[in-house]
């Protein structure tokens, strides 16, 4: 019985630890000439909005492939944000 | 909410288009764009399979995507690059033509690229020509447009292409429509369409086969197709009105998906139903110098801009800009 309650008590702590580790993992972001890091837990849409950009005017490319705005950044790799607005 | 599934195959989608309630994977997105383009060309009778089409390419996502799509659909499409001599410290035109050449090499021998060098032909780059006008650099985008339209028409005429295709997307069209509506420029509104018919004095037919796609869709097509294009904007376009109008429309699109689509296509339907009666295209004349169509007597706006005698006369008078050019540009073929 004691062992079971110890496991039950450990579970949320482990979950929090995993969450914190994930949050700590940073993904490299490239946008225009700038480069920065972002926590991997968020989605591309959240990243775009967080940067004050309009999701209509930016696309995300991960490892050379176009990815949907609902994709999570993940725990590794690089994301390139491509501005789609042109004009003059 | 996770990644949307592709409507066709249930794989992870790469693009979600709320205005169509459609999410697609890369493979099905390419097929959708190509079929939609074919249907749009057919619906608006842009050209027939046997027509030779000249595609105006800038090295950017829209024009290179258009060229790729037309070739994939089996049309005879060649490219035209107009070297405007834009440098501004970053060699923009030189880098742009490299992207166009690289693409042309990848599709050779099915298609060829024609290059027009404005500086070599007229002795001035587009920035130097703009400096002659009142407003100088502020007017650069309109001078650039005037030069491009004149040279596109001339090249299509001289090279024997009956149709000229440009990569204008729906955001480009909606931004122009928005700007003209804000100013109630009825004479421009009445002429805005995906097909601009040919006219007398060698005015060539101009078509916009990508006018039904959002800008992010043409960019997505280029990325998914691995088309290498110049991502940087023209250095002279920073702060341009067209970009501000696009940003405003995109803000509305976020809150209400389909706003841009409805705005443009509702306008086309209203235009077709005769909302602008009595706004016909003015009778065209031939420019006394280049022979191209113009609505003004004498020299067309382009020839007034590039004519060294007019320019030197203006400089001697100590006046800014060129006589009659402001009005002339508004009635030149560039606006017809």
Write out the residue range of the structural domain in which residue B247 sits: 30-282
Distances (CA, A) of B228 to B200, B222, B289: 38, 7, 39
Higher pLDDT pick, A20 / B283: B283
Q: What is the pLDDT of residues B77-102, one digit of tens each?
A: 999 999 999 988 889 999 999 999 99
Separation of CA B285 from chain center? 24
Higher pLDDT pick, A9 / B284: B284
DSSP B236: G
Q: Which residues of B touch A71 (CB under 8 A)?
A: 3, 12
Q: Which residues of B touch A48 (CB under 8 A)?
A: none
Q: What is the pLDDT of residues A30-75, one digit of tens each?
A: 998 899 988 888 999 999 999 999 999 999 999 899 999 999 988 7
Give the lowest-confidence range in A58-72, B26-40, B215-229, B269-283.
B269-283
B255 close to B291: Cβ distance less than 8 angstroms = no
Tell the residue number behind the tokens 């429509």, with chain if given: B177
Distances (CA, A) of B96 to B86, B193, B322: 10, 27, 30
Number of H-type helices and E-type strands within chain A:
2, 5
Tell the residue number behind the tokens 């339209």, with chain if given: B149
Q: Which of A58, A66, A88 sits opposite B223 (nearest CB)?
A: A66
CATH code, domain carrying B42: 3.40.50.620
Chain A contacts to B (CB-CB under 8 A)? 54-59, 61, 65-71, 82-88
| Inter-chain CB proximity B61 and A65 less than 8 Å | no
Q: Is the pLDDT of residue B313 over 80?
A: no
| Inter-chain CB proximity A68 and B14 less than 8 Å | yes
Give the lowest-confidence range in A62-76, B154-168, B272-286.
B272-286
Separation of CA B276 from chain center? 24
Bridge partners (DSSP) of residue A28 are A37, A78
Closest CA to B264 of B167, B156, B192: B192
Q: Given this model, what pLDDT does residue B320 score?
A: 38
Q: Which helix (H) or strand (E) holds B221?
A: helix B215-224
Maximum Cα–Cα distance across chain B: 70
B200 within some domain: yes
Question: What's the rounded mean pLDDT across residues B286-313?
Answer: 87
Q: Is the pLDDT of residue B332 over 50?
A: no
Q: Given this model, what pLDDT does residue B218 score?
A: 98
Higher pLDDT pick, B139 / A55: A55
Q: Distance between CA atoms of B287 and B189, rounded to whole angstroms?
A: 25
Give the lowest-confidence range in A43-52, B127-136, B268-277, B327-336.
B327-336
H helices present in B5-110, as ranges = 26-43, 61-72, 92-107
Q: Which residues contact B45 (CB under 8 A, 6 or more apart)?
A: B195
B174 within some domain: yes
Number of domains in chain B: 1
Q: Given this model, what pLDDT does residue B300 score?
A: 95
Q: Which CATH class is domain A26-83?
A: alpha beta
Question: What's the rounded mean pLDDT across residues B48-71?
Answer: 98
Chain B contacts to A (CB-CB under 8 A)? 1-4, 12-16, 23, 26, 60-62, 141, 144, 171-172, 175, 214-216, 218-220, 223-224, 231, 233-234, 236-237, 240, 242-243, 246-247, 250-251, 253-254
Q: What is the pLDDT of residues B172-217, one digit of tens each?
A: 999 999 999 999 999 899 999 999 999 999 999 999 999 999 999 9
All structural domains of chain A with their residue ranges: 26-83
Q: Is the pLDDT of residue B336 over 50?
A: no
Closest CA to B287 of B227, B226, B336: B336
Question: What's the rounded mean pLDDT across residues B14-23?
Answer: 97
Q: Distance between CA atoms of B59 and B301, rounded to whole angstroms?
A: 27
Give whichever of A27-31, A82-86, B161-165 has the largest mean pLDDT.
B161-165
User: In which band, very low, low, confident or very high, does the pLDDT at A21 lie, cut at 50, 70 and 90?
Assistant: low
Average pLDDT, chain B: 90
Distances (CA, A) of B195 to A69, B39, B277: 34, 14, 19
Interface test with A, best of B231, B234, B238, B256 (most A CBs within 10 A): B231
Bridge partners (DSSP) of residue A60 are A67, A81
Q: Given this model, what pLDDT does residue B179 score?
A: 97
At residue B44, the 3 state secondary structure works out as coil
Distances (CA, A) of B46 to B2, B81, B104, B212: 40, 21, 23, 14
Tell the residue number behind the tokens 């991997």, with chain if given: A40
Q: Which residues of B5-17 are buried (b: 16+ CB within 10 A; e: fewer)?
A: ebebeeebbbbbb
What ipTM score was computed for the predicted complex, to two decimals? 0.85
Q: Is the pLDDT of residue B6 over 90?
A: yes
Q: Distance between CA atoms of B238 and B10, rounded to whole angstroms?
A: 41
User: In which band, very low, low, confident or very high, does the pLDDT at B238 lie, cut at 50, 70 and 90?
Assistant: confident
Q: Which residues of B touch A83 (CB under 8 A)?
A: 231, 233
Q: Which residues of A touch B57 (CB under 8 A)?
A: none
Q: Distance between CA atoms of B151 and A53, rounded to whole angstroms?
A: 36
Q: Which residues contact B313 (CB under 8 A, 6 or more apart)?
A: none
């Amino acid at each position: 019985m004691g062992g079971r309650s110890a496991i039950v008590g450990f579970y949320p702590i482990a979950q929090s630890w995993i969450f914190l580790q994930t949050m700590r993992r940073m993904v490299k972001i490239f946008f225009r000439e700038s480069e920065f890091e972002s926590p991997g837990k968020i989605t591309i849409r959240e990243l775009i909005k967080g940067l004050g950009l309009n999701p209509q005017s930016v696309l995300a490319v991960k490892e050379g492939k176009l990815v949907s705005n609902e994709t999570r950044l993940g725990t590794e790799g690089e994301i390139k944000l491509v501005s789609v607005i042109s004009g003059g | 909410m996770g990644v949307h599934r592709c409507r066709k195959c249930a794989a992870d989608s790469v693009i979600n288009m709320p205005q169509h309630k459609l999410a697609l994977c890369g493979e099905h997105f390419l097929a959708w764009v190509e079929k939609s383009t074919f249907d749009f060309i057919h619906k608006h009778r842009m050209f027939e399979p046997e027509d030779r089409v000249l595609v105006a390419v800038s090295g950017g996502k829209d024009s290179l995507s258009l060229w790729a799509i037309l070739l994939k659909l089996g049309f005879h499409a060649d490219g035209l690059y107009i070297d405007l001599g834009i440098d501004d410290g970053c060699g923009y035109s030189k880098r742009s033509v490299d992207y166009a050449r690289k693409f042309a090499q990848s599709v050779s021998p099915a298609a060829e690229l024609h290059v027009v060098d404005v500086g070599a032909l007229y002795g001035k780059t587009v920035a130097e020509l703009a400096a002659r006008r009142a407003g100088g650099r502020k007017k650069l985008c309109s001078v650039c447009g005037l030069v491009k339209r004149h040279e596109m028409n001339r090249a299509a005429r001289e090279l024997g292409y009956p149709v000229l295709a440009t990569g204008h997307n729906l955001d480009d069209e909606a931004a122009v429509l928005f700007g003209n509506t804000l100013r109630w420029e009825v004479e421009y509104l009445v002429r805005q369409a995906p097909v601009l018919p040919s006219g007398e004095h060698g005015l060539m037919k101009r078509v916009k086969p990508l006018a039904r796609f959002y800008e992010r869709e043409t960019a997505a097509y280029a990325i998914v197709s691995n088309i290498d294009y110049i991502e940087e904007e023209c250095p002279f376009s920073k702060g341009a009105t067209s970009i501000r109008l696009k940003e405003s429309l995109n803000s509305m699109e976020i809150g209400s998906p389909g706003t841009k689509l409805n705005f443009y296509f509702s306008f086309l339907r209203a235009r077709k139903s005769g909302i602008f009666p009595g706004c016909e295209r003015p009778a065209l004349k031939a420019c006394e110098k280049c022979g191209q169509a113009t609505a003004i007597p004498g020299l067309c706006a382009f020839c007034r801009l590039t004519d060294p005698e007019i320019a030197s006369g203006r400089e001697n008078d100590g006046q800014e800009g060129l006589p009659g050019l402001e009005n002339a540009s508004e009635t030149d073929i560039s606006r017809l």
